[in-house]
Structure 1
C-alpha cells in the first residue's frame, strides 16, 4: 500500500510540474464544451426563406407557416443568381394552374423543409378555395387542379445532406492528417536533437522552415491527391466544377495544415502534448467548417469561424464541387488560404529562434 501511494504521489507531482499538460487537460474540455453550448443552444426550428412575385395571391402568402420568411419581388428575377445572392431556399412562380418551384438545393435538408411547407400551403389554399366556391359551381363542374413543377438550381431531387457535407469532410481529413503528421514529425526532429544540430550550423532559420515545408509538403500533396481521387472516382462523388480547382484548394489547405502543425509543435515537448492540442485546433474547426449548420447561431460566436482555414476551404470546395463555380467565386477564399500559409511560415521562422544556441 505504501509503494502504491508513493507511485501515485510521484505521478501526480510530475503532472503538477508539467503546467502545459495540466492546463490543456483542465481547460481544453471547457473550451470545447463552451463552443458546443453556444452552437447547439439555439432554436432548432428550421427557418426557410422563399421568394415569390408580388403579384401572387395574398391568401397564399398568408397561408405560409410561421417558419417561412416570404420575400416578394416586383419583377421576375434571374433565379440562377437570386437564390445565391438573397440566400433563398426556393422561389415560387405561378403559371395558369401550375406552381413552378425552383429550389436552391445547396442544403438538401433546407430543400426538404421548404418542399414540405410549400406542398402543405398549396393543399390548404386549394381546399379553402374549393369550400368557398363549392355552392356556386355547376353540378358538372370540377375544381382546377393546382400542379407543382419542381426544379433544382443545384443537384436534383435525390440529393442528400451528405452531398453538401462531403466536400467539407474531404477538406477536414486533408487538414487533420497533415496537421498531425507534420507536427509529430517536427517534434521528433527536436526531441532527437536533429533540429538543434542543424541550427548550430550556419544554415538560416528560413532555410530550415522552407526545407521542411518542401520535404513534408511533397508527401502532403501526394496524400491530398490520393484523398481527392479516391473520393471522386471510387466513392463516385459528384463534382460539378473543375477538378483543377479542387486540387488547388486541397493542396493550399494541406500546406496551411503543414505550417500550422509545425508552429503548434514548438509549444509541445512530447507527442502526448501534441495530441492534446487537437481539441483546441481541430475540434473547433469541425464546428465552424459548415458540417454543422450555423444559420441560427449568434453573429458574435459565428465570427470565430473566420480564424480557421478549414472554414474557407470548405466554402471554396462547396462552390466548386456542388455549385460548379470557378475562380471568380473562390478567389477570396484562395487568397485567405495563401495568407494563412505566409503568416504561419513567418511564425515558424520566428519560433525557431529559441532553439538556436549560437
Structure 2
C-alpha cells in the first residue's frame, strides 16, 4: 500500500506542477459545454420566412403556423436574387388553377419544415373553399383541381442535409489534420533540439517560419487537393461552382491551420499538451462552421464564430459548391483567411524570440 500511495502522490505532484495541463483539463470541457448549451438550447424551432404576392388568398396565410414570417411583395420578383437577398426559405404563388412554390433549399433539412407549413396553409385554404362550395351548391359540391409545381433554387428534391454539410466537412478535415500534424511536427523540432541549433545560427526567425510554412505548406496543399478531388470524383459529390475556387479556399484554410498549429505548438512542451488544445481550437469551429444552423442564436454568440477561420471557409465553400457562385461572393472570406495567415505568421515569428539564446 505504501508503494501504491507513493505512485499516487507522485502523479498528483506532477500534475500540480503542470498548471497548464490542469487548467486545460478543467477549463476546456466547460468552454465546450457552454457553447453547446447556448447553441442547441435556442435552436429547437426552425425560423421560416415565406415570400408571397400581396394578392394571395389570405386564408392560406392565416392557415400558416404563428411562428412563420410572411413577406408580401407587390411585383413579381426574380427568384434567383430574391430568396438570397431577402433571406427567404421559399416563395409561394397561388392562382385559380396552379400553386407555384420555389424553395431556396440551401439547407434541405429546413426545406422539409417549409413544405410542412405550406401544406398546413393549403389545407386551411381548401377547407375554407369547401365550406363556401357546400354553402352555395350543396348538391354539386366539388373542389377545383389545382396542380402544384415545386422548383428548387439550389440542389433538387433529392438533396439531403449531408449535401449542405459536405463542403464544410471537407474544410474541417483539411484544417484539423494540418493543424495537428504541423503543431506536433514543430514541437518535435523543439524537443529534439533542431530548432535550438537553428536559432543559434544567423538565420532569421522570419526565414525559419516562412521556410517551415512553405515546406509543410507543399504537403498541406497536396493533402487538400487529394481530399477535394477524391470527394468530388470518387464519392461523386456534386459541385455547382468552379472546382478551382474550391481548391483555393481549402489551400488558404490549410495554410491558416498550418500557421495556427505552429503558433499553438509554442505553448506546448509535449505532444499530449498539444492534443489538449484540440477542444479549445478545433471543437468550437465545428459549432460555428455552418454545420449547425445558427439562425436563431443570440448575436453575441454568433459573433464568436468570426474568430475562427473555418467560419469563413465554410461560408465560401457553401457559396461555391452549393450555390455555384464565384469570386464576387467569396472575396471577403478569402481576404479573411489571408489575414489569419498573415497574423499568425507574425505571431509565430514573435513566438520564436523566447527560444533564441543568441
1:104 aligned residue: 104
The alignment partner of 2:135 has SS state of: coil
* Partner deviation per Cα, 1:175-225 (whole Å, 9 max, x = no partner): 000000000000000000000100100000000000001110011001001
TM-score of the two chains, using structure 1 as the length reference? 0.98
1:248 and 1:147 map into 2 onto residues whose CA distance is 45
CA deviations on 1:248-286 (whole Å, 9 max, x unpaired) are 000000000000000000000000000000000000000
In 2: Cα distance, 1:142 partner to 1:126 partner: 11
SS of the counterpart of 1:91? strand
CA contact (8 A) 2:62 2:121 kept: no
Residue of structure 2 in register with 1:320 after alignment: 320
In 2, the alpha carbon distance for the partners of 1:204 and 1:140 equals 92
In the other structure, the counterpart of 2:135 is: 135
Between the aligned partners of 1:271 and 1:158, the Cα distance in structure 2 is 44
CA offsets 1:261-313 (integer angstroms, 9 cap, x no match): 00000000000000000000000000000111111111111110000000000
Contact 1:45 1:67 in 2 (8 A): no
Residues 36 and 140 of structure 1, relative CA distance in 2, 3 Å threshold: closer
SS in 1 for 2:159: coil
Match of 1:256 in 2: 256
Q: Secondary structure at the match of 1:296?
A: coil
Aligned to 2:6: 6
CA distance in 1, matches of 2:224, 2:20: 32
Does residue 21 in structure 1 map to residue 4 in structure 2? no
Partner of 1:81: 81
The match for 2:55 is 55
Q: Indicate whether 1:223 and 2:223 are aligned.
A: yes
Moved over 2 A (4+): 137-143
**Contact 1:106/1:164 (<8 A) preserved:** yes
Comparing 87-96 with 15-24, which one deviates more in the overlay?
87-96
Distance 1:232 1:64 in 2: 39
C-alpha displacement of 1:97: 1.6
CA contact (8 A) 1:126 1:146 kept: no
2 CA distance for matches of 1:153 and 1:342? 37
Q: How big is the shift at 1:348?
A: 0.4
Assess if the C-alpha contact under 8 Å between 1:16 and 1:22 holds in 2: yes
Aligned residues: 358
Of 271-280 and 69-78, the range deviating more from structure 2: 69-78
Query: Residues 61-108 of structure 1, C-alpha deviation per residue, up to 9 Å, x if partnerless?
Result: 111111211011111111101100111100011233211000000000
Q: 1: CA distance between counterparts of 2:32 and 2:127?
A: 50
Partner Cα distance (2:52, 2:141) in 1: 30
* Distance across 1 between alignment mates of 2:33 and 2:312: 24
> Which TM-score applies when normalising by structure 2?
0.98
**Using the alignment, how far apart are the partners of 1:140 and 1:175 within structure 2?**
67
Distance change >3 Å, CA 166–CA 113, structure 1 → 2: same
Find the residue that maps to 2:268 and give its secondary structure: coil
Alignment of 1:198 with 2:198, yes or no, is: yes
| Contact 1:312/1:333, CA 8 A, preserved across alignment | yes
Structure-1 residue corresponding to 2:148: 148
